[in-house]
């Protein structure tokens, strides 16, 4: 609903990914007309993955974007700055086929596991292995496309998979009695998988006011979602032109935190801890050589400050 806003509004290009967590805040912001309240006019661009958005941030074609937890190494290497935490993903699972003899992470040893490389699925598998003292070389990891995992697991080409909902719902149609070996919640609050909104590295310094305004929009949208989770699923489905059924129940697999609580967690350093923990995993996974400290790339102060702006 930004089309009817006044022409003096500041234009903001915003990237997102066409799934529930990647779109919900923007769908709600559009529906509730939160943008014009901040004098902003969003130009939304849908992407299929995080790295492409970061690339577009680098070429100044995007002002803001959305990253899943698997792409958090990008801000951790200075390629983008995080402006806010969106939701905490709890959809990721390590699942195993019935009869594969896998019931707990330790049973994964020597098994064939399908993983979409560089995603949160990749990470939860790594965590699960580490918890039990297994090395990646102790299992046979088969990297593949997310939708490939569905088929591969369904057809029994692999023993286990590290994947997420709602794709697991698809798998369940064919393998109803699959075993959930590990789930994201198992690691909370030590570790969680936040998905975030990011911006160009320079923009925060050059135009903090803009970043603050955008953050305010995101906070407002987030709080609306926290209050109306089911409604938000419908709005998002409409926004993505998907059948409502496809997103129904999405909120089951995310943890929604009110912005007040997120502010608190930011101020007490918990959020920085999440990011640093994840960054350490990335380093251990050889995704990057060394990490920046979370305080260098998470704009926590701006986030906290955005909460103080009175709604117009």
Partner 1 sequence: MSEDTKPARPGGASPDTAEAPSAPGTTAKAPTGRRIPLPKPSSVLLSLCSAALGLLVWIGLTKSGIEDLPGPWAVAKRGAELVEDGTLFDDMGASLRRVLTGYLLGVALAIPVGFAMGWYPIVRRLIDPWIQFFRMVPPLAIIPLAILTMGIDEKPKVFVIFLAAFLSSVVSTYQGVVSVDSTLVNAARVLGAKDRQVFIGVVVPASTPFILVGMRIGLGASWATVVAAELIAAQSGLGFRMQQAQLYYDLPTIFVQLIAIGAIGLVMDRLLLLAERRLTGWQERR
Give yes or no for residue 15 binding partner 1 (CB under 8 A). yes
CB nearer to partner 1: pick between 73 and 303: 73
Size of the site for partner 1 (CB under 8 A): 49
Instruction: Look at the block and give the residue holding tokens 């234009």.
Output: 11
The residue from 39, 136, 146, 273 that contacts partner 1 (CB under 8 A) is 146
Per the structure block, which two tokens stand in for 184?
Answer: 């994201």
E-strand ranges in 109-268 read 112-115, 140-143, 160-164, 179-183, 193-199, 254-255
E strand or H helix that includes residue 175: none
The residue from 144, 198, 210, 254 that contacts partner 1 (CB under 8 A) is 144
Give yes or no for residue 62 binding partner 1 (CB under 8 A). yes
Among the candidate windows 103-111, 128-136, 223-231, 241-249, which touches partner 1 by CB under 8 A?
241-249
Give yes or no for residue 102 binding partner 1 (CB under 8 A). no
Contacts of 68 (CB under 8 A, 6+ apart): 17, 21, 22, 50, 89, 119, 120, 195
The residue from 6, 7, 59, 312 that contacts partner 1 (CB under 8 A) is 59
288-291 contacts at long range (C-beta below 8 A, 24 or more positions apart): 288/73, 288/76, 288/77, 291/73, 291/76, 291/77
Among the candidate windows 50-58, 204-212, 221-229, 299-307, which touches partner 1 by CB under 8 A?
50-58
Q: Give CA torsion, residues 230, 46, 64, 273, to 10 deg.
A: 60
Instruction: Look at the block and give the residue holding tokens 């998979």.
Output: 161
Give yes or no for residue 154 binding partner 1 (CB under 8 A). yes
CB nearer to partner 1: pick between 182 and 200: 200
Give yes or no for residue 145 binding partner 1 (CB under 8 A). yes
Among the candidate windows 43-51, 82-90, 124-132, 198-206, which touches partner 1 by CB under 8 A?
43-51
Per the structure block, which two tokens stand in for 193?
Answer: 């998988």
Binding to partner 1 (CB under 8 A): which residues in 280-309?
287-288
E strand or H helix that includes residue 149: helix 146-154
Give yes or no for residue 242 binding partner 1 (CB under 8 A). yes
Q: What is the DSSP letter of 36?
A: H
CB nearer to partner 1: pick between 2 and 186: 2
Contact between 179 and 107 (Cβ < 8 Å): no
Burial class (CB in 10 A: 0-12, 13-18, 19+), 226: middle
Give yes or no for residue 178 binding partner 1 (CB under 8 A). no
Query: CA-CA distance, 108 to 102, in Å (whole number)?
Result: 6
Give yes or no for residue 136 binding partner 1 (CB under 8 A). no
Shortest Å, Cβ 140 to partner 1? 10
CB nearer to partner 1: pick between 61 and 267: 61
The residue from 26, 30, 64, 79 that contacts partner 1 (CB under 8 A) is 79
Give yes or no for residue 137 binding partner 1 (CB under 8 A). no
Burial class (CB in 10 A: 0-12, 13-18, 19+), 4: exposed
Give yes or no for residue 244 binding partner 1 (CB under 8 A). no
In the complex, the residues that contact partner 1 under the rule CB under 8 A are 15, 18-19, 44-49, 51-52, 54-56, 58-59, 61-62, 73-74, 79, 114, 117-118, 142-148, 150-152, 154-155, 157-158, 166-167, 170, 174, 240-243, 246, 287-288
């Amino acid at each position: 609903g930004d089309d009817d806003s006044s022409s003096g509004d500041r234009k903001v290009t915003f990237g997102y990914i066409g799934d529930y967590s990647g779109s919900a805040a923007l769908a709600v912001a559009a529906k509730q007309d939160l943008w014009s309240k901040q004098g902003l006019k969003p130009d939304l661009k849908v992407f299929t993955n995080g790295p492409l958005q970061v690339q577009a941030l680098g070429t100044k074609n995007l002002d803001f974007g959305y990253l899943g937890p698997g792409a958090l190494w990008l801000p951790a290497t200075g390629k983008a700055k995080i402006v806010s935490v969106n939701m905490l993903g709890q959809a990721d699972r390590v699942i195993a086929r019935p009869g594969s003899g896998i019931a707990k992470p330790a049973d994964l040893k020597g098994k064939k596991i399908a993983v979409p490389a560089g995603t949160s699925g990749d990470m939860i598998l790594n965590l699960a292995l580490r918890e039990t003292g297994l090395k990646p070389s102790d299992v046979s990891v088969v990297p593949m496309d997310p939708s490939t995992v569905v088929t591969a697991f369904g057809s029994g080409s692999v023993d286990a998979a590290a994947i997420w909902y709602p794709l697991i719902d698809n798998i369940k149609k064919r393998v109803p009695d699959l075993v959930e070996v590990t789930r994201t919640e198992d690691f909370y609050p030590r570790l969680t998988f936040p998905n975030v909104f990011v911006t160009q590295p320079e923009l925060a310094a050059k135009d903090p006011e803009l970043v603050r305004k955008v953050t305010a929009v995101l906070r407002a949208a987030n709080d609306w979602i926290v209050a109306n989770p089911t409604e938000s699923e419908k709005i998002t489905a409409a926004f993505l032109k998907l059948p409502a059924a496809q997103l129904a129940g999405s909120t089951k697999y995310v943890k929604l935190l009110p912005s007040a609580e997120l502010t608190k967690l930011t101020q007490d350093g918990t959020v920085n801890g999440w990011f640093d923990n994840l960054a350490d995993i990335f380093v251990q996974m050889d995704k990057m050589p060394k990490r920046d400290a979370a305080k260098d790339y998470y704009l926590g102060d701006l986030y906290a400050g955005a909460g103080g702006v009175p709604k117009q």
